Amino acid sequence: MKSGHVKIDWVYKFMPLLRSIEEKYEHKKPLRGLRIGMSIHLEAKTARLALLLRDLGAEVVVTGSNPLSTQDDVAEALRERGLIVYAKRTSDEQVYLKGIKDVLSTQPDLILDDGADLTVTAHTEFKEGLKRLRGVTEETTTGLRRLRALQKNGLLTVPVIAVNDAFTKHLFDNRYGTGQSTWDSIMRNTNLTVAGKVVVVCGYGWCGKGVAMRARGLGARVIVTEVDPVKALEALMDGFDVMKISQAAKLGDFFITVTGNTKVISENEFMQMKDGAILANAGHFDVEVDVKTLERICVEKFEARPNVTAYRLSNGRTLYLLAEGRLVNLAAADGHPVEIMDLSFAVQALSLIYLADVKLEPGVYPVPKHIDEEIAEMKLASMGVEIDELTDEQERYLENF
Ligand code: NAI
């Protein structure tokens, strides 16, 4: 069997939630008659989600959600299984954007977005994509930020379900998924020791917490940088050092940005860093480490290892950037662990089924609570864990003032 198919079959073995959704809905075909346009980091787990949506009745058209995060063998396997796939691993933004427009030109009824490129493009430069559009599910923090900005400007014309904000998504995917897969990628691409090193984590949101927690588990001394005083205090109370990036720049052996913001590490910091410092980004866009400035100020650039670019600076020091500053766990590894994405994609699948069934005004909506609870229950059951239930007396007690 070809590698793409092997990868897809491997992950499905460890996705009990998607398998039970398939069992429950396969005969009802709740997505029948709908075309779903997907923009997603196309690797084995997302491919499996696409196949599930197809099995629930949808016609599925797929492209990537970041220039480097598509695995071509997986894209090929999906084509061989009958899906329309435009995704391609590329560093070329134009090739990437063409995939987005190709999906929109099929006029999807529903969009499954990761980072909001499909939805924002449909609302701005490619309005043909809005013609039949009934709703969107958005996977990530950055995508929701963009869609809320679109709404604030009065431009959003469809309902959006905020998949990222479901508890069964961000508490696990952003925290444990990003925590594990970011370190998996950094370690496999550098082959360096983490124990005893200084790790600087920029941003202590859901992803940053996971990255910092796992760095500590690997034996690193961890510094957190933040702009939100509450998050900074939380990091301090969680036992991490907290300081400005300008101070941390001199101390770090590894730097990981995970803020959803831009130019978090730039020229001032680059010039302060130790020789051999490693730079990685786990945020959605490649703007957190200011790569354009790094390109401009370096005196020499070369490939040090696969996925590792060396930049020699005028002060004689060399910095190493992973995966061109794109999200390191997807652009240079396999993304989050399988079981974590099983949870996230259960939220996606049930949110799409919900969207297909209801009529909502344009706006950004939370995932209904019953979906979150159903998924948590399914996950516990799949792990063989039982929990207590409230007695009638306890319920009455809790409702009493
Ligand atoms: P979040 O909103 O929970 O946390 C972001 C944190 O960064 C906030 O606490 C904010 O105060 C802080 N921040 C903003 N600007 C900063 C700056 N200049 N310096 C230091 N801290 C700063 O967001 P979350 O969920 O942690 O997501 C972060 C990014 O990671 C987003 O772009 C999201 O889309 C992406 N993401 C990536 C994943 C991956 O697989 N690599 C998975 C999930 C999310």
Element (H, E) at 288: none
Give the Cα separation of 277 and 317 in Å (integer): 9
* Sheet of 84-85, strands arranged across: 84-85, 59-63, 35-39, 110-113, 135-138, 159-162, 363-366
Of all protein residues, the one whose alpha carbon is nearest to atom 43 of ligand 1 is 174
Of all protein residues, the one whose alpha carbon is nearest to atom 1 of ligand 1 is 205
Structure tokens at 37: 């346009």
Query: What is the tens place of the pLDDT at every residue in 186-202?
Result: 999 999 999 999 999 99
Closest by alpha carbon to 133, among 153, 156, 154? Answer: 156
Structure tokens at 276: 């051999």
Phi, psi of 312 (to 5 degrees): -90, 130
| Ligand 1 geometric centre to CA of 260 (Å) | 4
End-to-end alpha carbon distance in the chain: 63
Q: How many CB atoms lie within 10 A of CB 118?
A: 30
At 234 the pLDDT is 98
98: three-class secondary structure by DSSP:
helix
Give the Cα separation of 36 and 57 in Å (integer): 10
Query: Helix 338-357 and helix 16-25: axis angle, to 10°?
Result: 30
Residue 252's identity, in one-letter code, is G
61: three-class secondary structure by DSSP:
strand
At 341 the pLDDT is 97
Report CA-CA distances (Å) from 202 to 24, 231, 255: 42, 11, 8
**164 DSSP 8-state letter:** G
**Nearest atom within ligand 1 for CA of residue 336:** 40
Closest by alpha carbon to 291, among 121, 67, 42? Answer: 67
Asked whether 8 lines ligand 1 (CB < 6 A), one says no
Of all protein residues, the one whose alpha carbon is nearest to atom 31 of ligand 1 is 260
At 12 the pLDDT is 95
| Ligand 1 geometric centre to CA of 30 (Å) | 34
221-248 mean pLDDT = 98
| Ligand 1 geometric centre to CA of 3 (Å) | 33
Asked whether 226 lines ligand 1 (CB < 6 A), one says yes
Q: Which of 37-46, 89-98, 263-272, 274-283 has the lowest mean pLDDT?
A: 89-98
> What percentage of residues in the chain have a pLDDT greater than 70?
100
At 91 the pLDDT is 83
167-193 mean pLDDT = 98
28: three-class secondary structure by DSSP:
coil
Residue 1 has pLDDT above 90, yes or no: no
Query: What is the tens place of the pLDDT at every residue in 301-322?
Result: 999 999 999 999 999 999 999 9
> What percentage of residues in the chain have a pLDDT greater than 90?
98
Closest by alpha carbon to 309, among 265, 289, 266, 279? Answer: 279
Asked whether 66 lines ligand 1 (CB < 6 A), one says no
| Ligand 1 geometric centre to CA of 150 (Å) | 19
Asked whether 231 lines ligand 1 (CB < 6 A), one says yes
Asked whether 240 lines ligand 1 (CB < 6 A), one says no
Mean pLDDT of the chain: 97
**321 contacts 308 by C-beta, under 8 angstroms:** yes
Give the Cα separation of 354 and 352 in Å (integer): 5
At 283 the pLDDT is 97
- Band of the pLDDT at 369, cuts 50, 70, 90? very high
Asked whether 141 lines ligand 1 (CB < 6 A), one says yes
State the pTM of this model.
Answer: 0.95
239-267 mean pLDDT = 98
| Ligand 1 geometric centre to CA of 363 (Å) | 23
| Ligand 1 geometric centre to CA of 211 (Å) | 11
| Ligand 1 geometric centre to CA of 1 (Å) | 39
Asked whether 105 lines ligand 1 (CB < 6 A), one says no
Q: How many CB atoms lie within 10 A of CB 62?
A: 28
Report CA-CA distances (Å) from 351 to 70, 207, 320, 354: 24, 22, 40, 5
Asked whether 35 lines ligand 1 (CB < 6 A), one says no
**Nearest atom within ligand 1 for CA of residue 115:** 34
Query: What is the tens place of the pLDDT at every residue in 22-74?
Result: 999 999 999 999 999 999 999 999 999 999 999 999 999 999 999 888 999 99
Of all protein residues, the one whose alpha carbon is nearest to atom 12 of ligand 1 is 203
Of all protein residues, the one whose alpha carbon is nearest to atom 40 of ligand 1 is 178
At 340 the pLDDT is 97
- Band of the pLDDT at 371, cuts 50, 70, 90? very high
At 260 the pLDDT is 97
112: three-class secondary structure by DSSP:
strand
**Nearest atom within ligand 1 for CA of residue 182:** 41
